[in-house]
Structure formats: C-alpha cells, structure tokens
Amino acid sequence: MSDSTPLGDFLRARREALKPQDVGLPEHGRRRVPGLRREEVAVLAGVSSDYYMRLEQGRETGPSPQVIDAIATALRLDDEAHDHLRRLTRAPQERRRVPAGHDRVSPQLLQLIDSWPDTPAFVLGPAQDVLAYNALAAVLHSGFQRFDNLARMVFLDPAGRTFYQDWDRAANSCAAELRAAYGCAPDSPRITEAVDTLRAKSPEFAGLWARHDVKGKAQQAKNLSHPEVGALEIRFSAFTVNGAPHQQLVVYQAEPASATAAAFAELRSRIGREAPAYVVEEESGRALSET
C-alpha cells in the first residue's frame, strides 16, 4: 500500500488536510507544502519537531497514550479518527487478527436474515465482501453485475453510479469504511488485496484512499434508485456480530406506508423466480481480482 508506515501515511495526510487558520495559527506568505508544517503540528502537540518527524518517517512507532491524544488534538481528529490513530500505534502482537474462515456466516445468522422477508439484509466481511444476503437484498441489488463486494459495486460497477443517488457520498463512505477496517487489521491479506485492486482500477478510489478519512458504518438515511421500481428512501443500520466481530449485519428499512415500502413489496413479489432465500459467497475473496 505504501513504502512508508501506515502511521506515517495517516499523520502526513491529516496534517496536509489542515490549514493554519483551522488550528488558530497565522498564515504568513506563500507556503511550500500543503497544509500544516511538521514543526507546527509538533508545537501544537507539545512534542519536539524531531520526534514528530520520526513518527511520520516511520522511525518511531510507539508513542505514549498521552502523545497520541496530544497529536489527535493538534490534528483536530474526530473520535473515529482518534481511535484509528491509536490502532495504528499498536504493536504487531496487539493487533486484531482476522481468523481463518472469517467469511463463514453462522447458521443462526443466516436463519435470522432469512426470517425477514420484507427487509433487505446482508452480512459484510472486513473488506466489504458480501458474505450472505436474504432474498430481498438480492433482488434490490439485481441491477449490478454481481452482489459480491460493496466497494467493487460502488467504484467499478457502472450500475453504482445510478443506484446510489448521491454517489460521491457513497464513495466517500465506502473508502472511509475500508480505511477503518484496514486500521483494525492492517495485516489482513484480503483487505490489502481489495485496496490494491481498487487503487489500480479506480482513480477516484485512489484519491479518496490517499485522504485517510476514517468512518465506521452507522445508522443513517440513504437514497437509492432501483432500475425497475425507481427512487428509494431507506434507513440503514449496521451491527457487529457477536462471536464474529470482523463481520457486520447490515439492514435496510423503509418507513411504514411509504413509497419505498410499496417498492419493497413490489420487489418481494418477484423473489420466487429471481432469487434464493440466501446465498453464502464462499469465494468472495476472488471477487475484486476478477473484475
């Protein structure tokens, strides 16, 4: 992903995204570098310029919790980015490992999502791989080449440009969610493969990845456009799966008696001939490389 360290890349990107006025510093004359200078961040964080330079250059990888908090304050990091910074400073033995067989979804979870015939629901792996989905989720995403990996669908599938009405927002969120997953498991071969493929095939993803924005999935509204039933206004929620914290259960909901609820009912009426109850994508790890 980079010749330098993930910690150094993150600090540099966040430093370059700030302007002096963002942190209450005067701006004098023309600046040769984008954003803040290393020396300015060091002053704001109360550390030496040499020490901060070593952090960005990867020659210092174990700052104290106090230094981490001070740098997070200096760089105006929000809570999610602050947590990401903490994860990047963990020793290798302290990092979360994505276990072998991480793409296996428990029978209980499969039974749960199958019991929601009127609610699209699916399970994601850490690299945005779709590991399982119920019938309504399948027909909702039927306009895509494959319902296999959300990042591929957003950035590499032509259907993504129309399915997500606010494509820029969807793209920003997708890249930031992948960045958060990478921070939790930087040694994951699957996440590395997904990111490398997306960077090579999508200049837009490459640009967003370089920003080092961090965001986990959260409950929020989303506007979609299905090729057959039209505009959809949904609320989605994401839940960590007990016993499999590397997986997320994503649920789409429509307001009762709304046009979106009626569209869901129309899609539901087509399921008998278009989709199975659920599918486990056992070979999801090859999805991006085959695009």
Whether residue 241 has pLDDT greater than 90: no
The values of phi and psi at residue 15, to 5°, are -65, -45
CATH number of the domain at 6-94, please?
A: 1.10.260.40
Token pair belonging to 101? 């067989």
Contact indicator for 126, 181 with CB cutoff of 8 Å: yes
Separation between Cα atoms, residue 177 and residue 185, nearest integer Å: 13
pLDDT of 1 reads 42
Burial of 174 (0-12, 13-18, 19+ CB in 10 A): buried
All structural domains of the chain with their residue ranges: 6-94, 107-290
Q: Half-sphere exposure of residue 132, counting CA atoms within 13 Å on the CB side?
A: 20
Please write the tens of the pLDDT for every residue from 129-151: 999 999 999 999 999 999 999 99
- Taking alpha carbons only, the member of 177, 178, 155 closest to residue 167 is 155
Contact indicator for 1, 192 with CB cutoff of 8 Å: yes
pLDDT of 284 reads 42
Q: What percent of the chain has pLDDT over 90?
A: 61
Find the range with the poorest average confidence among 12-16, 184-188, 200-204.
184-188
107-290 belongs to which CATH class? alpha beta
Token pair belonging to 41? 């961040």
- Taking alpha carbons only, the member of 94, 47, 53, 96 closest to residue 68 is 47
| Confidence (pTM) | 0.84
pLDDT bracket for residue 287 (50, 70, 90): very low
Whether residue 243 has pLDDT greater than 60: yes
Residue 130 pairs in a beta bridge with 124
